[in-house]
Structure 1
Amino acid sequence: MLHRHWRGFAFAVYFAVVVCVMAFHEPWFDEAQSWLIARDASFHDILLVRPHYEGHPPLWWLMLSIPAKLGVPYEIGLKGIQLACAALMAGLLIFRAPFPPVAVALLPFTYFMCFQYGVTSRPYALMCAAIFLVADCWATRDQHPWRLALSLTLLCCTSSYGIALACAVALVWVARTVLQARSLRALIADPHRFAAWLVLMVAGIVLTVCILPYPDTFGATPGANGNSIVAKFLMFWLVLPSESLFTSFAGDVSLHGMRLGVLPMVVCVVLSALVWAVLIRLAHRRGDLDILLVPYLLFAVCAVRYFSMHHLGILFALLVADWWIVLRDRPLEAADMPERLRLRIEGCGLFRRGGKGDPTSDAGSRWRNAAGVRNAAALRNAVIVVLLLPSLCWNVAAAACDVRYDYSGARAVASFVERNGLEHDRWVSFWRYFPETTWPDGSHTPRQEDTHRYSWAVIAANPYFDDFARGAAQDSARGSASGHVRGRVRDGSSHDAAHGLLDCTYRGRSYEPNQVPTAAQMNQEIKSCAAKGEPEFVIGDTDFPDYYFNRLGYRMRDYRKITIATKHTPWKTWVTTADITTYVRTDVLRALRLR
Structure 2
Amino acid sequence: MSKLKSLFIRRADEKNSFKSDLLVLLIYTAGIIFVTCFHELWFDETQAWQIAKCASFKELFTYIPHYEGHPPMWHLLLSVFAKNGAPVDFTLKAINTVFCVIAMALLIFRSPFPRIVRYLLPFTFFFFYQYGVLSRPYSISMIAFFLMAIAYKERNAHPWRYILAMTLLSLSTAFGLMIAGGLCIVWTFEIIAELIRNKKLKFFWKDMRFWSLCFILVIAVAVMLMIIPADNCYYIGADDGLSVFDRVIFLPFYEYLAAMPFESWSGILLGNYDINSIPAIGIVEIICGLAMWVGLSAFAVKNKKFFTFFLPYLIVTVVWAFKYVSIHHLGLGALLHIFLFWIMAEQEGGIAVPEFMKKLNSNVTSPAIRKFVMVAGAVICLAPVAYSVIASVLDMTHEVGLTCVADIIKENHLEDTNIMAMWEVVYEGDDDDDDDDEKIDRYLFATLEIPSAHRPIKESRTYLSGASAMIQPYFDKNIIMNFNADCPEDMYMHYQYKEDSEKIYSLWREKGLPDFIVGYCPIDDVYDEKTLEGVRYLPVKMIDYCTVGKVCVNHSCIYFYMRDDLFDEYPQFEWINDQTGNVFERKPQKAE
TM over 0.5, yes or no? yes
- For 2:462, the aligned partner's letter is T
- 2:487 partner SS: helix
CA deviation vs aligned residue, 1:504-551 (integer Å, no higher than 9, x gap): 524112111112243xx2111112212332111122356x67656669
Tell me, yes or no, if the aligned pair for 1:111 and 1:572 is still in contact at 8 Å.
yes
User: What is the correspondence of 1:397-408 to structure 2 with a 5 Å cutoff?
Assistant: 397-408=390-401
Tell me what 1:511 maps to.
492
Select between 164-173 and 530-539 the one with higher mean Cα deviation.
Answer: 530-539
Tell me, yes or no, if the aligned pair for 1:549 and 1:555 is still in contact at 8 Å.
no
Cα 1:102/1:592, change in 2 over 3 Å: farther
- For 1:510, the aligned partner's letter is M
Cα 1:556/1:203, change in 2 over 3 Å: farther
Match of 2:458 among 425, 447, 455: 447
Q: Does 1:292 align with 2:297?
A: no
Cα 1:284/1:561, change in 2 over 3 Å: same
User: What is the correspondence of 1:259-298 to structure 2 with a 5 Å cutoff?
Assistant: 259-298=276-315
Tell me what 2:264 maps to.
244
CA deviation vs aligned residue, 1:73-106 (integer Å, no higher than 9, x gap): 1111111211122112222221222222111100
Q: Does 1:194 align with 2:210?
A: yes
Counterpart-to-counterpart distance in 2, 1:165 and 1:556 = 59
Counterpart-to-counterpart distance in 2, 1:176 and 1:87 = 34
1:430 shift after superposition? 2.7
Tell me, yes or no, if the aligned pair for 1:394 and 1:573 is still in contact at 8 Å.
yes
User: What is the correspondence of 1:303-314 to structure 2 with a 5 Å cutoff?
Assistant: 303=320, 304-314=322-332
Counterpart-to-counterpart distance in 1, 2:215 and 2:330 = 30
- 1:239 partner SS: helix
Cα 1:121/1:334, change in 2 over 3 Å: closer
Tell me, yes or no, if the aligned pair for 2:69 and 2:228 is still in contact at 8 Å.
yes
User: What is the correspondence of 1:344-383 to structure 2 with a 5 Å cutoff?
Assistant: 344=363, 348=367
Tell me, yes or no, if the aligned pair for 2:481 and 2:511 is still in contact at 8 Å.
no
Tell me, yes or no, if the aligned pair for 1:82 and 1:121 is still in contact at 8 Å.
yes
1:563 shift after superposition? 2.2
Match of 2:404 among 412, 420, 436: 412
- For 1:124, the aligned partner's letter is Y
- For 1:402, the aligned partner's letter is D
Tell me, yes or no, if the aligned pair for 2:399 and 2:546 is still in contact at 8 Å.
yes
Q: Does 1:532 align with 2:501?
A: no
Counterpart-to-counterpart distance in 2, 1:397 and 1:349 = 31
Match of 2:469 among 448, 451, 459: 459
- 1:56 partner SS: coil
Counterpart-to-counterpart distance in 1, 2:537 and 2:78 = 39
Match of 2:188 among 174, 193, 198: 174
Counterpart-to-counterpart distance in 2, 1:346 and 1:522 = 70
- For 2:290, the aligned partner's letter is A
Counterpart-to-counterpart distance in 1, 2:529 and 2:144 = 48
Match of 1:389 among 382, 401, 414: 382
Q: Does 1:327 align with 2:345?
A: yes
1:417 shift after superposition? 0.7
1:55 shift after superposition? 0.8
Counterpart-to-counterpart distance in 2, 1:3 and 1:131 = 23
1:380 shift after superposition? 11
CA deviation vs aligned residue, 1:171-230 (integer Å, no higher than 9, x gap): 000011112333671772653222211111111111111111221211224547998355
- For 1:326, the aligned partner's letter is M
Q: Does 1:219 align with 2:235?
A: yes
Cα 1:429/1:382, change in 2 over 3 Å: same
User: What is the correspondence of 1:569-588 to structure 2 with a 5 Å cutoff?
Assistant: 569-588=547-566
1:248 shift after superposition? 0.9
Cα 1:186/1:9, change in 2 over 3 Å: farther
Cα 1:501/1:547, change in 2 over 3 Å: closer
Task: Give 5+ residue unaligned stretches, structure 2.
Answer: 1-13, 436-455, 575-592
Counterpart-to-counterpart distance in 1, 2:146 and 2:530 = 51
Cα 1:338/1:384, change in 2 over 3 Å: closer
Cα 1:261/1:547, change in 2 over 3 Å: farther
Counterpart-to-counterpart distance in 2, 1:28 and 1:433 = 21
1:462 shift after superposition? 1.0
Counterpart-to-counterpart distance in 2, 1:349 and 1:432 = 56
1:552 shift after superposition? 11
Match of 1:27 among 16, 41, 62: 41
Task: Give 5+ residue unaligned stretches, structure 1.
Answer: 352-377, 467-497
- For 2:294, the aligned partner's letter is A
Counterpart-to-counterpart distance in 2, 1:552 and 1:141 = 72
- For 1:416, the aligned partner's letter is I
Match of 2:247 among 222, 228, 231: 228
Cα 1:4/1:126, change in 2 over 3 Å: closer
Counterpart-to-counterpart distance in 1, 2:530 and 2:54 = 28
- The alignment's C-alpha RMSD in Å is 3.2
Counterpart-to-counterpart distance in 2, 1:446 and 1:267 = 41
- For 2:142, the aligned partner's letter is C
- 1:228 partner SS: helix
Tell me, yes or no, if the aligned pair for 2:195 and 2:204 is still in contact at 8 Å.
no
Tell me, yes or no, if the aligned pair for 2:107 and 2:146 is still in contact at 8 Å.
yes
- For 2:232, the aligned partner's letter is D
Tell me what 2:140 maps to.
126
Tell me what 1:562 maps to.
540
1:337 shift after superposition? 5.9
Tell me, yes or no, if the aligned pair for 2:60 and 2:75 is still in contact at 8 Å.
yes
CA deviation vs aligned residue, 1:258-284 (integer Å, no higher than 9, x gap): 644432332112101221222111111
Tell me, yes or no, if the aligned pair for 1:463 and 1:500 is still in contact at 8 Å.
no
Counterpart-to-counterpart distance in 1, 2:530 and 2:96 = 40
Counterpart-to-counterpart distance in 2, 1:16 and 1:538 = 39
Tell me what 1:423 maps to.
415
- 1:80 partner SS: helix
User: What is the correspondence of 1:29-178 to structure 2 with a 5 Å cutoff?
Assistant: 29-178=43-192
- For 1:530, the aligned partner's letter is R
Tell me what 1:339 maps to.
358
1:570 shift after superposition? 1.6
Match of 2:223 among 191, 207, 220: 207
Counterpart-to-counterpart distance in 2, 1:515 and 1:261 = 35
Tell me what 2:583 maps to.
none
Cα 1:122/1:92, change in 2 over 3 Å: same
1:592 shift after superposition? 5.4
Counterpart-to-counterpart distance in 1, 2:369 and 2:112 = 25
Tell me, yes or no, if the aligned pair for 1:419 and 1:593 is still in contact at 8 Å.
no
- For 1:72, the aligned partner's letter is A
- For 1:523, the aligned partner's letter is E
Tell me, yes or no, if the aligned pair for 1:7 and 1:95 is still in contact at 8 Å.
yes
1:578 shift after superposition? 2.4
Select between 386-395 and 258-267 the one with higher mean Cα deviation.
Answer: 258-267
CA deviation vs aligned residue, 1:283-325 (integer Å, no higher than 9, x gap): 1111110011100122234444232233222222222222222
